[in-house]
Amino acid sequence: MKLAARLSLAVLLVAFLLAPFLVHPGLVFIAGFAMIQIVFALSWNLLFSYAGLVSFGHAAFFGIGAYVSAVALRYGWHINFLLIPPISAVLGAAAAFLVAIVVLRRANGIQFSVLTLALSQLVVVLIGYSEYLGHDEGISAIPRPVINLGIATLDLNNPLASYYFVIVIGLIAIALIWLVVHGPIGRTMQAVRIDPERAAFVGIDVWRLRVVAFTLSGGFAALAGSLLAPWAQIVHPDYVNWLASAQPLFATLLGGAGFFWGPVVGVLGLAWLNYAMRTFVGLSEIMIGASLLVVVLLAPQGILGALRDAVRRRRGKVAGEHR
């Protein structure tokens, strides 16, 4: 990783860690929500940029984590909440695995994307019929837990403790996704994305690898969702529908699909746009959409792609001046 990128990441990390002491509580809430969305977007990008699959229904797995966490807290499951994120990840991965072994056998490309969209909408319908899950109103007034750490307790009713819980779990998830995409599995995924036929010719089981990618992606999405309930203290079907599934797609395109950190930049950009446009009642969505359109048209490879190209042009110009 180049020095400029390392410095940028260090500044971003420090900003997240110091946010409660530098900005008002409203922005701290946005920062915590942004961390949740970052993990969600990175989980989607794991599937898109590294396995070459486009899911239009990824919010279904995010919703699994969100509702597992919400139900555990709202109905008083007698389980240490520290176990809920990994349990949610396992359940999300299991659901993604079951979907993948069926869908990927019969569909690729746009057919796969449409089927995942149908899955997401099916989950929304099922939630609407479930009294246990709060029907269309969702689950609200979710209490924040007190986590037993053995030698101490962590009370998430304390806003500072709740914020750092989300940040730490989010950073762990980001590190795990980084290890996946930069390890042997990630490199093999990229080979399949670039040329599935050639990958199959050299002995890579393309179907199996895509199942693994979808399973991992669903697990990380569910882990992100599990952080939503204690942070927002409300979970409803809007977090599961197709619009929610579009959020990581928008973030990835905005930040740069060809970059690991692209979704991070995209999520932060969208968070800033939402905050900046909050006073434009009824027009904020239009203005955000127009902003995204401008970025996609002027910088097809996203913000990071535009920055990379600008640096290359600058270096080329400097090199030319020294000849």
> Mean per-residue pLDDT for 181-194?
87
For residue 207, what pLDDT is reported?
A: 86
Q: Residue type at 315?
A: R
Q: Where are the domains of the chain?
A: 27-241
Do 217 and 58 touch, CB atoms closer than 8 A?
Answer: yes
Q: Which pLDDT score, from 0 to 100, does residue 197 have?
A: 82
Structure tokens at 292: 């995204």
pLDDT tens, residue by residue, 34-82: 999 999 999 999 999 888 888 999 999 999 999 999 999 988 778 889 9
pLDDT for res 286: 79
The confidence band for 292, taking pLDDT boundaries of 50, 70 and 90, is confident
Check residue 1 and report its DSSP letter.
-
User: Using one digit for the tens of pLDDT, what is the confidence trace for 237-261?
Assistant: 989 988 888 899 989 988 888 888 9
Q: Over the stretch 136-186, which tens digit does the pLDDT of each residue have?
A: 888 988 999 988 887 888 889 999 999 999 999 999 999 999 999 988 888
pLDDT at 321: 55
Residues 6+ apart with CB under 8 A from 6: none
- Per-residue pLDDT, 10: 85
Burial class (CB in 10 A: 0-12, 13-18, 19+), 246: middle
Q: What pLDDT score does 3 carry?
A: 61
Maximum Cα interatomic distance, the chain, rounded to a whole number of Å: 73
CA-to-CA separations, 246 to 12, 117, 196, 243, in angstroms, rounded: 24, 10, 26, 5
| Chain segment 130-145, per-residue pLDDT in tens | 888 888 888 988 999 9
pLDDT tens for 306-323 read 888 877 777 665 555 555
Residues ≥6 apart with Cβ < 8 Å to 172: none
Q: In the numeric block, which tokens belong to residue 74?
A: 């709202």
Digit-coded pLDDT (tens) for 70-116: 999 988 778 889 999 999 999 999 999 999 998 887 777 788 888 88
pLDDT recorded at residue 322? 53
pLDDT digits (tens, 9 = 90+) for 194-214: 888 888 888 888 888 899 999
* Most confident of the ranges 7-11, 189-193, 236-240, 292-296: 236-240
Q: What is the structure's pLDDT at 105?
A: 79
Q: What predicted TM-score, i.e. pTM, was given to this entire model?
A: 0.92
Position 221 pLDDT exceeds 70: yes
Q: What is the pLDDT of residues 255-278, one digit of tens each?
A: 888 888 999 999 999 898 888 887
- Whole-number pLDDT of residue 135: 87
